[in-house]
A = this chain, B = another copy of it.
Amino acid sequence: MAMNLRQTVAEIGEFELIALIAQRLRDPAIAQVAVGIGDDSAVVSAQGGQVVACLDMLTQGVHFRLDWSSANDIGRKAAAANLADIFAMGASPTALLVGLAVPGQTTVAWVLEFADGLREEASSVGVTVVGGDIVRADSISISVSALGELGNAKPILRSGAKPGDVLAVAGQLGFSAAGLLMLSRGFRSPRVLVGAHRVPTPPYELAHAGLKATSMIDISDGLVSDLTHVASASNVVVNIDSSLLEIPEPLSSAAGAFNGDALEWILTGGEDHAFAATFSNALDVPAGWVIVGSVSAGSPAVLVDGLPHASSGWDHFKS
């Protein structure tokens, strides 16, 4: 279809837009999709007879800004946030479904670049977009549902942490929060931080199926905030030893330059989509994971160096 990508979605209409998106999302290498885009629903593999499923929304001005992130960035971020939730269950992702609400004056180019971002992130873990919806709205909102399968494995829940377990994390922490601060102060660098805010890089390969974790969670709101859910669900105290939290160079430099607190970014910064997990034995912690604390008995709480931590992380409505 030869067309002018500067056309708006209102000009080309819903059905031609869907055809263009479907073309852009096509990935013939994906074996687990029996029915993809183009029917009332998709049909996807669910080995083991159970499906793992989650849904996240991202809204313009809250989760992304069009002047800070490209359409490709936003597509990747929307996919990554949901894929991380599948891996955090000890499951393997199988597919994404995507809803996109956009104003009529949005360009076709923007929508297709968004689809490219979705496809790129999804194909990095061997999945594709199998369905969804595109509708009109006053501002952009995005909804992604990710599906996964467990095969013969049991899901790794938030509720499985036991006193005596070790606590470990995989992936970057605090990078997205630091990057957001840079952007909000009008800077576009350092790229490693700003880029981490635009497109998180969950360490998918470290949350692989077969992980011997007793509990696991995707860190989306902040380490302390998300571990509070593990503490409550498992009825334990989760102890973070801040001396075990390595402060990487980009964070310490940025903290120095911006009078920030790198440790605070690591403890409370959201949207990195790192993983935190508990293991009954330190020997079960695979390479790539870093032990940063332990689990003990007591009323549910998260303690940093033995003390409750003041900041409670991101609240969508109170922030």
| Interface of A toward B, CB cutoff 8 Å | 9-10, 12-15, 17, 34-35, 38-63, 84-86, 88-89, 91, 94-95, 97-101, 104, 130-139, 141, 143, 145-148, 150, 155, 157-159, 216-218, 229, 233, 315-318
- Candidates B141, B159, B233; contact of A141 at CB < 8 Å: B141
- Candidates B10, B39, B157, B218; contact of A35 at CB < 8 Å: B157
Q: How far is the CB of A247 from chain B (nearest CB, A)?
A: 27
**How many chain copies does the complex carry?**
2
Given contacts A135-B63, A316-B136, A318-B10, contact A98 B41 (CB under 8 A): no
Q: Verify A17–B317 contact, CB threshold 8 A.
A: yes
Given contacts A35-B155, A89-B41, A89-B43, contact A143 B318 (CB under 8 A): no
Q: Verify B134–A53 contact, CB threshold 8 A.
A: no
Can you name the residue of chain B whose Cβ is closest to the Cβ of A103? B317
Q: How far is the CB of A125 from chain B (nearest CB, A)?
A: 15
- Candidates B9, B44, B49, B317; contact of A10 at CB < 8 Å: B317
Across the A-B interface, give the 9 residue pairs with the lowest CB-CB distance, nearest first.
A143-B143, A46-B46, A41-B54, A55-B97, A57-B99, A51-B51, A145-B145, A40-B88, A59-B137
Can you name the residue of chain B whose Cβ is closest to the Cβ of A59? B137
Q: Verify A14–B137 contact, CB threshold 8 A.
A: no
Q: Verify A45–B55 contact, CB threshold 8 A.
A: no
Given contacts A62-B137, A63-B135, contact A53 B155 (CB under 8 A): no
| A134 proximity list for chain B (CB < 8 A) | 57, 316
Q: How far is the CB of A39 from chain B (nearest CB, A)?
A: 5
Q: Verify A89–B315 contact, CB threshold 8 A.
A: no
In whole angstroms, what is the CA distance A303 to B62 when docked?
A: 47
Q: Verify B40–A85 contact, CB threshold 8 A.
A: yes
- Candidates B34, B35, B148; contact of A41 at CB < 8 Å: B148
In whole angstroms, what is the CA distance A45 to B46 when docked?
A: 9
| A97 proximity list for chain B (CB < 8 A) | 53-55, 145
In whole angstroms, what is the CA distance A46 to B53 when docked?
A: 11
In whole angstroms, what is the CA distance A89 to B134 when docked?
A: 20
Can you name the residue of chain B whose Cβ is closest to the Cβ of A46? B46
Can you name the residue of chain B whose Cβ is closest to the Cβ of A18? B316
Can you name the residue of chain B whose Cβ is closest to the Cβ of A142? B143
Q: Verify B55–A44 contact, CB threshold 8 A.
A: no
| A40 proximity list for chain B (CB < 8 A) | 54, 84-86, 88-89, 158, 216-218
Q: How far is the CB of A1 from chain B (nearest CB, A)?
A: 15
What are 24 A-B interface contacts by the 8 Å CB criterion?
A15-B315, A39-B155, A39-B159, A40-B85, A40-B158, A40-B216, A40-B218, A43-B89, A43-B155, A47-B49, A48-B49, A49-B49, A51-B53, A51-B94, A51-B147, A53-B147, A55-B55, A55-B131, A57-B135, A59-B136, A136-B317, A138-B138, A141-B141, A143-B145
Q: How far is the CB of A120 from chain B (nearest CB, A)?
A: 20
In whole angstroms, what is the CA distance A39 to B230 when docked?
A: 9
Q: Verify A52–B59 contact, CB threshold 8 A.
A: no
Q: Which of A52, A100, A157 has the most CB of B within 10 A?
A: A52
